[in-house]
């Protein structure tokens, strides 16, 4: 017989199968010898009280053997000679669109401006060590997209739980740990995700799909409001009437191209701010209410949201046991982001702390029309570059100094490898953002006593939270409202925010695209 239980236990009991079995047997009046297996379905931590508990949803096998049923990938057919769909971008939206195309019997041709995951590492080393920004290969561009080397978080607020489960199971099928199916906030880790991305690429190629790296699209051939092909940087053209545009939130050249070709796009609100670094030990002490975390609890995350003068301020992409990374995509700008390895075992934690922006905040850049938010974003990144010393060093300030408007006399070494330059954040941001951050950090400290400390360091800017542009599409067909055969997709088009939601949107766009193709019957 199988029973499902939802229980709350201490972290120590949750960590030891024998203790967990004993607890279940005693609580439910079951003989311990009759319990053949305990399967953990879901796990989360409740740290609201001083006595921390672990919430577990379990399936208990009583007098019945457990038969493990490993997750299997779909039976992907060979699509070598199938109808072709061009996919621009090999991030999660593009890769999962490609997989879905194959599953439905179409051949994906994926065009990626950046390099494969292994080759990207050299360019990441160059930006960290030598301050050299490769515009096509960096933390944002390349196989796997921005998430590959910036943490691999799999948590989404999407309500389409069935879709979320499908994506998680596909990731497990391609090599991710099955623990991502269990944890409330699943995470793969920057050190693990590249191998999974490589396996996905190999499957796409094995089944007849194509992936072309270092292949930047520079133009679209459009006639009578219909897509007819794409032009590549090397001058060649690929004829196609089906294009899934999955270029990510930082593909500014694509936004510019669409604007200048008079393809309808829209300015979209986004959020912008700083990335703040604390010691992980301090965050653990605050969140777990103990001096030392102990061996049975993971490094603690945090999530904070406040309204400051009617404007939202919140934590974004919080990385326990992680580091801050340089994520510029062009010379002459600096951008920060964060990531954690799978074990989250670095001594520091960091989080984006960002302020809600609205389209009216971009009035100074109104001459750029729907690109006004993008130019607002770019202006802050370029100003930060100048203030930081015109390298990949970023402006930085101790947290209390920032709140009090004082220039930090010195700065500790932080996890941001290119280095930091002491600066007043009031010189980096417009007054309304700076003031919101100052007041917001005070409010944060009321929720997490000890958060506001001068041992924490603020780095600027955290500016690539989401796309500043939306590429509108039909709600039903998912085609662009104006251009037939063009399917705006994922984060860059304004329809996703993270690995899982981007992958879901990639599948949706592939499905919608394939449904318009008339297959030849034999």
What are the sequence ranges of the domains in the chain?
Answer: 2-62, 84-265+470-514, 271-462
* CATH code linked to domain 2-62: 3.30.70.2700
First to last CA, the chain: 49
Pick the CATH number of 84-265+470-514 from 3.50.50.60, 3.40.50.12780, 3.40.190.10, 1.10.10.10: 3.50.50.60
Contact 276, 457 (CB under 8 A): yes
Question: Residue 461, preceding bond cis, omega within 30 degrees?
Answer: yes
H or E, element range at 227: strand 226-232
By C-alpha distance, which of 361, 399, 367, 397 is closest to 380? Answer: 361
Distance of CA 448 to the CA centre of its chain: 25
- What percent of the chain is helix, strand and coil (3-state, nearest 5)? 30, 25, 45
2-62 and 84-265+470-514 agree in CATH topology: no
Q: What are phi and psi of 62, to 5 degrees?
A: -110, 120
- 346 CB-near residues (< 8 Å, 6+ apart): 280, 321, 322, 323, 340, 415
The residue assigned the tokens 């997209």 is 145
> What pLDDT, on the 0 to 100 scale, is given for residue 157?
61
User: Residue 338 burial (CB < 10 Å; 0-12/13-18/19+)?
Assistant: buried
Assigned token pair, 25: 């047997």
Q: What are phi and psi of 463, to 5 degrees?
A: -125, -10
pLDDT in tens, the chain (522 residues): 999 999 999 999 999 999 999 999 999 999 999 999 999 999 999 998 889 999 999 999 999 999 988 899 999 999 999 999 999 999 999 999 999 999 999 999 999 999 999 999 999 999 999 999 999 999 999 999 987 876 667 766 655 545 899 999 999 999 999 999 999 888 887 788 899 999 999 999 999 999 999 999 999 999 999 999 999 999 999 999 999 999 999 999 999 999 999 999 999 999 999 999 999 999 999 999 988 898 999 999 999 999 999 999 999 999 999 999 999 999 999 999 999 888 899 999 999 999 999 999 999 999 999 999 999 999 999 999 999 999 999 999 999 999 999 999 999 999 999 999 999 999 999 999 999 999 999 999 999 999 999 999 999 999 999 999 999 999 999 999 999 999 999 999 999 988 999 999 999 999 999 999 976 544
> What pLDDT, on the 0 to 100 scale, is given for residue 148?
80
């Amino acid at each position: 017989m199988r029973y499902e239980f939802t229980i709350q236990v201490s972290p120590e009991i949750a960590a030891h199968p024998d203790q967990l079995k004993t607890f279940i047997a005693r609580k439910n009046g079951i003989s311990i010898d009759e319990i053949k297996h305990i399967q953990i379905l879901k796990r989360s931590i409740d740290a609201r009280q001083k006595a921390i508990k672990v919430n577990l949803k379990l399936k208990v096998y009583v007098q019945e053997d457990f038969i493990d049923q490993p997750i299997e990938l779909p039976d992907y057919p060979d699509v070598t000679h199938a109808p072709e769909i061009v996919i621009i971008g090999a991030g999660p939206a593009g890769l999962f669109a490609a997989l879905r195309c194959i599953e439905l019997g179409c051949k994906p041709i994926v065009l990626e401006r950046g390099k494969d995951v292994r080759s990207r590492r050299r360019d990441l080393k160059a930006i960290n060590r030598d301050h050299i920004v490769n515009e096509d290969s960096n933390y944002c561009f390349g196989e796997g997209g921005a998430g590959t080397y910036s943490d691999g978080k799999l948590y989404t607020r999407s309500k389409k739980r069935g879709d979320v489960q499908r994506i998680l199971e596909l990731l497990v099928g391609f090599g991710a740990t099955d623990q991502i199916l269990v944890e409330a906030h699943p995470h793969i880790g920057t050190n693990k995700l590249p191998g999974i991305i490589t396996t996905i690429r190999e499957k796409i190629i094995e089944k007849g799909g194509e992936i072309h790296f270092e292949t930047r699209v520079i133009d679209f051939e459009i006639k009578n409001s219909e897509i007819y092909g794409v032009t590549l940087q090397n001058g060649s053209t690929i004829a196609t009437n089906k294009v899934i545009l999955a270029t990510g939130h930082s593909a500014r050249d694509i936004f510019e191209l669409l604007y200048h070709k008079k393809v309808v796009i829209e300015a979209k609100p986004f959020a912008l701010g700083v990335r703040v670094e604390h010691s992980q030990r301090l965050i653990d002490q605050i969140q777990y209410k103990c001096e030392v975390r102990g061996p049975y609890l993971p490094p603690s995350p945090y999530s904070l949201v406040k309204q400051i003068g009617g404007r939202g301020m919140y934590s974004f992409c919080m990385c326990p046991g992680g580091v801050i990374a340089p994520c510029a995509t062009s010379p002459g700008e600096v951008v920060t982001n964060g990531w954690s390895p799978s074990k989250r075992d670095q001594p520091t934690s960091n989080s984006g702390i960002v302020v809600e922006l609205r389209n009216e905040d971009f009035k100074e850049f109104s001459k750029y029309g729907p690109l006004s938010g993008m130019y607002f974003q770019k202006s802050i990144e370029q100003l930060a570059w100048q203030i930081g010393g015109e390298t990949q060093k970023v402006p930085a300030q101790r947290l209390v100094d920032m709140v009090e408007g004082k220039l930090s006399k010195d700065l500790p070494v932080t996890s941001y490898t290119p280095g930091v330059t002491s600066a007043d954040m009031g010189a980096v941001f417009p007054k309304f953002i700076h003031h919101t951050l100052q007041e917001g950090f005070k409010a944060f400290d009321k929720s997490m006593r000890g958060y506001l400390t001068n041992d924490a360091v603020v780095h600027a800017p955290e500016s690539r939270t989401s796309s500043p542009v939306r590429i509108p599409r039909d709600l039903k067909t998912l085609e662009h409202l104006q251009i037939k055969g063009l399917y705006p997709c994922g984060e860059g088009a304004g329809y996703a925010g993270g690995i899982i939601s981007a992958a879901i949107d990639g599948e949706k766009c592939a499905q919608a695209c394939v449904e318009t193709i008339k297959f030849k019957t034999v």
